[in-house]
């Protein structure tokens, strides 16, 4: 049973459908919810040299550009029924702005919840900002 906010699902589907994915044909959308409760959406943007921008990175960049620095929730939607989890680079990027309360949720193409993770489950033994403290 899907218990996600219908407006969140609508945003996820809409942003995924605006992805620019001419090479992989694998559109992905993401919505991050900041500590203030604001939502920031992002889609993957591919480029010809194959170093594009992931949806999660796009959404986190929008959040950081708005001056926010803490993630409460991350939602990711792909084009199918299988899990479309964040790549390794995005897992590290999420880790930068996450804490022990952050939840990462992956939904199917229609927005039904497939799986949710804590940051520790998504990226065990992660290297974070505290590892750089003197």
Within a 10 A sphere around the Cβ of 62, how many other Cβ atoms?
A: 19
| Distance, first Cα to last Cα, the chain | 47
Residue 110 annotated to the active site: no
Active-site residue, from 10, 35, 56, 130: 56
> Which among 84, 83, 80, 35 has a CA at the least distance from the CA of 55?
84
In angstroms, the Cα distances linking 113 to 17, 89, 103, 108 are 18, 23, 13, 7
Phi, psi dihedral angles at 102 (to 5 degrees): -65, 135
Catalytic residue numbers, as ranges: 56
């Amino acid at each position: 049973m899907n218990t996600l906010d219908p407006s969140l699902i609508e945003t996820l589907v809409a942003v995924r459908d605006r992805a620019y994915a001419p090479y992989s044909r694998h559109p992905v959308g993401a919505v991050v919810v900041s500590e203030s409760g604001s939502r920031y959406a992002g889609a993957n943007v591919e480029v010809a040299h194959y170093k594009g921008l992931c949806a999660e990175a796009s959404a986190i960049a929008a959040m950081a550009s708005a001056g926010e620095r803490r993630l409460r929730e991350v939602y990711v939607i792909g084009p199918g029924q299988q899990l479309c989890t964040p790549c390794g680079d995005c897992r590290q990027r999420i880790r930068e702005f996450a804490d022990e309360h952050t939840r990462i949720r992956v939904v199917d193409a229609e927005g039904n919840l497939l799986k949710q993770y804590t940051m520790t489950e998504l990226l065990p033994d992660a290297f974070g900002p505290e590892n750089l403290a003197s």
